[in-house]
Amino acid sequence: MSNLEPLPLPEGISEDYADCTSSCGLRFHVLKAGKPGNPLVLFCHGYPELAYSWRHVMYKVAEAGYYCVAMDQRGYGRTTGWEDKLYDQVDLTQYTMTNLVRDLMCLVYKLGYTEVACIIGHDFGGVSSAMSALMRPDVFKATIQMSHPHHPPPTPQFDDQPQKAVVDIQAELAKLNPPRKHYKWYNSSPEAANDWNYPSQGLEKYLRGYFHLKSADWDHNKPHSLPAWGAKDIAIMPEYYVMRKEDSFPQSVERNMQGEDYSKTESWLTPEELAIYVKEWSRTGFQGALNWYRAQTASTPQSKKDMFLYAGRRLEVPCAFISGKQDWGNYQQPGALEAYEDEKSVKPGCFKGTTMVDHAGHWVQQEQSEVVTKAVLNFLKQL
């Protein structure tokens, strides 16, 4: 990896590698800010992002007296050691949540720590952050989710007990007129990586369109809670969540971007910053990152079995939720946001509140970094 050009980073942030190949098999690419030895704060990115996505937040948190580290997670960016294999050759047990938390445990120890003051995650990184705190509250002492609310692990079901009705959401969506499909299932499909790797509009325009559609700059983002997990209930969400059945994701983005001003998002994601994402994804391809979807959806039975180990377990550390007010991610799983107030999901007294940031969509820590930083620091002050 030494032949890669250094990332253009804000003052106060440096990049480095943390070699954990002898433990979890990964050589992490990390961004660092602050003084080693100060309380550790970890930042976990989502899809299709990188540690770079935290560039506006982490150095400001470091100035408050923390050692801040953001990593490219398994399957992403400049972190190496994950299987770069074709769809049907990947060992998906590497992407179960227990293994992804194991990755973070190894990183913590490699950094010279045995505990983390706070782990913060956005999007799929929000799952990483919540599950780390749920599985090892003795190590991950507090947690913040952004744009992806925590929901508790599944519980085992048995043949001699009354069974909960299970909705085959893909089958039900396919019956709609026009037929639809869920983006998580699409991202788990064999064709998804090739579609993401080679969009007809070109990768730069495709990613710009995707960032635009899920941001507050797309005027159609007016999210609200959904009554249930049913096809008709979730079909009101934009097509970047509930796609047309015949579409690839690039096709969905291109059609929904018709008539839109592609430059609108440059106020918070400059052409130079977008170029970082384009270069990194052009180099690695998307399959490694898409394996997260494959391992966490209902289509992968071993992941559900993996989480039965934590059935009935709740978050018992201080936690908070921060998100954009214009982000449909807050509601894509009905009831998840409200579950922070449920004692079965979070120990009473641990949830410190929700911050909804106006004029921000899904990319809240980039769209409104100053507001997010303030909310993070307010939370840390309570610890």
Residue with tokens 């007016």: 222
Dist CA 307 CA 53 (whole Å): 28
3-state secondary structure of 244: strand
* Residue 60: its H or E element: helix 58-62
In Å, how far are 164, 177, 182, 338, 344 from 354, measured between CA atoms? 30, 36, 27, 10, 18
Question: Would the pLDDT of 238 be above 80?
Answer: yes
Average pLDDT, the chain: 96
Question: Would the pLDDT of 300 be above 80?
Answer: no
DSSP character string of 331-343: TSSTTTTGGGG-T
Dist CA 383 CA 372 (whole Å): 17
Least confident stretch, 189-198, 214-223, 299-308: 299-308
The residues, ordered by sequence, that sit 6+ positions from 367 with a Cβ below 8 Å of its Cβ are 215, 216, 268, 324, 357, 359, 360, 361
3-state secondary structure of 181: strand
Residue-wise pLDDT for 242-271, tens only, equals: 999 999 999 999 999 999 999 999 999 999
CATH of the structural domain 14-155+301-381, one choice from 3.40.190.100, 3.40.50.1820, 3.30.160.20, 3.90.1150.10 = 3.40.50.1820
User: If pLDDT is split at 50, 70 and 90, which confidence band does 166 have?
Assistant: confident
The encoded tokens of residue 106 equal 């190894």
The residues, ordered by sequence, that sit 6+ positions from 20 with a Cβ below 8 Å of its Cβ are 26, 27, 28, 81, 103, 106, 107, 110
The closest alpha carbon to 77, from 170, 21, 1, 160, belongs to 1
At residue 143, φ and ψ (nearest 5 deg) are -155, 150
The encoded tokens of residue 227 equal 């009554």
Q: Are strands 143-146 and 118-122 parallel, antiparallel or unpaired?
A: parallel
Question: Would the pLDDT of 299 be above 60?
Answer: no
Q: What's the confidence (pLDDT) of residue 365? A: 98
Question: Would the pLDDT of 163 be above 80?
Answer: no
Residue-wise pLDDT for 80-105, tens only, equals: 999 999 999 999 999 999 999 999 99
Q: What's the confidence (pLDDT) of residue 305? A: 85
**DSSP H helical segments within 97-202, as ranges?**
97-110, 124-135, 169-174, 183-187, 192-197
Question: Would the pLDDT of 1 be above 60?
Answer: no
Question: Would the pLDDT of 208 be above 60?
Answer: yes
Q: What's the confidence (pLDDT) of residue 296? A: 86
Q: What's the confidence (pLDDT) of residue 298? A: 54
132 and 73 in contact (C-beta within 8 Å)?
Answer: no
Residue-wise pLDDT for 18-60, tens only, equals: 999 999 999 999 999 999 999 999 999 999 999 999 999 999 9
User: If pLDDT is split at 50, 70 and 90, which confidence band does 304 have?
Assistant: confident
85 and 64 in contact (C-beta within 8 Å)?
Answer: no
In the chain, domain spans:
14-155+301-381, 169-289
